[in-house]
Each structure stands twice: as structure tokens, then as C-alpha cells.
A = this chain, B = another copy of it.
Amino acid sequence: MKPSKDPQPRSANNSIVDVAVLARVSVATVSRVLSGQRDKNDDVDRRVRQAAATLNYSVNAAAKALRSKVSGVLGVVAPKPIDFPASQLISELEPAAKKAGKNLALALAETQQELDDKVRSLILRDIDGLIVIAPQNCRLPSTKDATNSPGTPIIQLLGHNASPQVSWIGIDTTAAMRAAMQHLADANATSIAFLSPTLDSGMVSDALVAFQSSDQITELIRNPAWTTCGACTIRRGYDDALRMFADKDETPDGIICGNDQIALGVLQALNQLHIVVPDQVMVVSFGDSPLALMSEPSLTSVCPPYRTMAHEAIRLLLLESEGTRRLYPHTTFPPQIIDRGSTRKLMHV
């Protein structure tokens, strides 16, 4: 049923003036009602909303941005091609941004040069904030250029090159390592091995330190030869595991892997040696990639707190774009252990 008037529900050719006329108020009032500045629930409010609905009206984003200096857009720079962590972060960023009334403008960068370009380009587009998921081997900003005009708040996600001039949200790798060890200890592991990534490869780099210095559970590290560094590949995990279990006299009963690929290799080696996971040896990995669900048994993995990081990034950006204060906090969040088949649940006795 339509109202008695002549609604003209044509495509979005309607402007705020049409709504004002139909609602018999001024354009200013329409603007206030529709932007939430006018909170009353009276007749004016109803008339305006009714008119807007009838005309199928929605505000023109460009005009709004031009006038109010708020574009309603958050920029996101991610690695090209988009890797798994970036896709997870973006998947969490988008709903969080939407909930704050922001859209996402996505740019990708592969090199430092591209990163600089994209950052500049986005900032010039009047975005309300910028989130950078830095590609490997890239710094932000490369030079503290005119890029970072005081206008746009910037926040870096992941990476470990965060300059003191840039807000940063990352993973608490120390807590991650501790959680992994505690998880194994709780399941009665007595001797733990650690297959670390090479030290320069980021995410778990200082996890090695945490591993070797974790106070309460140091006694779990029996053999220095069980701490290895190397590539994040299936083959590396396979080779290291074979080597570790060559000497039947002394073998670990818990293995922490720098990522899921390494863990997959470990699993293959153990399977070949007829060592049963998790009964004889337990395995924990970092990253919780899709791989973790594919293996047999599935991998207990330390999952980066993507959702928490995304929400915090949005929150910070909103905060900084409103207030005048501009701090550059460096925040880390502890990841969560996803318990799966490769570790044994502790039985309550």
C-alpha cells in the first residue's frame, strides 16, 4: 500500500531537497535527522524518515565527504598477493569497520616502493584512517615523508619493524610460546623440542628467546639439539624429526613447530617411524592455517588473535581521528591455542 502522495521512487536521483519538500521541513532538518544529530522521536522525525523511505533516498557520499571532511572510508594496505594472515585480518577488519560506519578501500603492495605509493595515494584520497598490513621486508614509513601529514591516523598490523612514530598492533610471541609450552606441560609432556623458523623471519623470532628462558618450565627442555632453526617447509620438519628420533634412547615427547608446514613434515616423519601422535609424541604449531585441519591427526595450533587485533585497530583509528591526541602505542595480544588431535587432552584424575 502506498501513501496517497505521488512518491516518485525513481533511482537515486533524489536529493535532500526532495526529501525536505516532501516532509515539509528544511534541508537542514533533514540532514540533522538522517545523520542522527536530532534524536527526538516526534512527528518531524517520522515525517523525514517516511519521506526518505518513500523517495528511496540515501545521502550522497561524495557531497557528504566534501562538506564534512569525513569520507567514511578506511584505507587498508595488504601484501600482494594477499597471504593467509592478511586475508584473515581483512576478513575481521571489514565487519568491524562496517559496524563503525566505515567502508574499506583496499590497496596492495609488493615492494617498499609500492607500499609508499599506496600509502600516499590513499592518504590523498581523504580517508579517515589507514591500516597497513606490511609486506615482508617493508618498513612503514620508509622515510618520515610528507606522507604522514598530521591529518590521517595510521596503524600498522603485524610485521616487526614498527617505528616509534607509528601505532602498531602485533602478536605477543612470548605469550604464544609460553602458552604452547604450558599446553604441552599440562598434557604431561616432559621433554620438548622446538623447530624454530630462521631467526630473521619474523613472527616467532623472539619466541626462541621465550622458549629458552621460560622460567617455570625450563626443565622441559632436555636436549639442546632439539632446538633447531631452519626453513618453514614440510621437508624441513620431516628431516628434523627423522634426525631427532634416530636415537631411540632419548627422544622428545612434545614438539613445538614454527608453523603448520613444519608440523606437517613432522607428522609425516613420525607416521613413517610408526610413532603415534598424540599418544607417544604431541605436536603444537604456530599459525593455525588451513593446513592445520587437513592433517591426520589435525594440528593443535596457536592461532593469532586476528579478531582482537582487527577490533583494536578500528577502535584506535576512530579514537585518533576524533580526539586531537596522537599517541603511537605499540600493542601486542596473546594468541589462543586451538586444541586439536595432535595433542592429548589432560584427563582429570
A contact residues vs B (CB 8 Å cutoff): 9, 11-12, 56, 58, 60-63, 65-66, 71, 73, 76, 80-82, 87-88, 90-91, 94-95, 98, 103-108, 124-126, 146, 149-151, 233-235, 261, 264, 291, 294, 296
- A75 to B94 Cα, complex, angstroms: 13
**Assuming A62-B126, A104-B106, is B294 touching A264 (CB within 8 A)?**
yes
Q: How many identical subunits does the complex contain?
A: 2
Nearest-neighbor residue (CB-CB) of A10 within chain B: B149
Chain A at the B interface: SS class = mixed
Determine if B107 and A125 form an interchain contact, defined as CB atoms under 8 angstroms apart: no
**Residues of B contacting A76 in the complex (Cβ-Cβ under 8 angstroms):** 106
Partner of A11, one of B9, B151, B233, B264: B151
**Residues of B contacting A146 in the complex (Cβ-Cβ under 8 angstroms):** 9, 11, 56
CB distance from A197 to the nearest CB of B (A): 16
**Residues of B contacting A103 in the complex (Cβ-Cβ under 8 angstroms):** 105, 107, 125
- A80 to B56 Cα, complex, angstroms: 28
A sample of 20 more A-B contacts (CB under 8 A), given A11-B149, A81-B87, is A9-B146, A11-B150, A12-B124, A56-B146, A62-B63, A62-B66, A62-B71, A65-B65, A80-B91, A81-B91, A82-B82, A82-B87, A82-B90, A90-B106, A91-B108, A94-B106, A94-B108, A98-B107, A103-B107, A105-B105
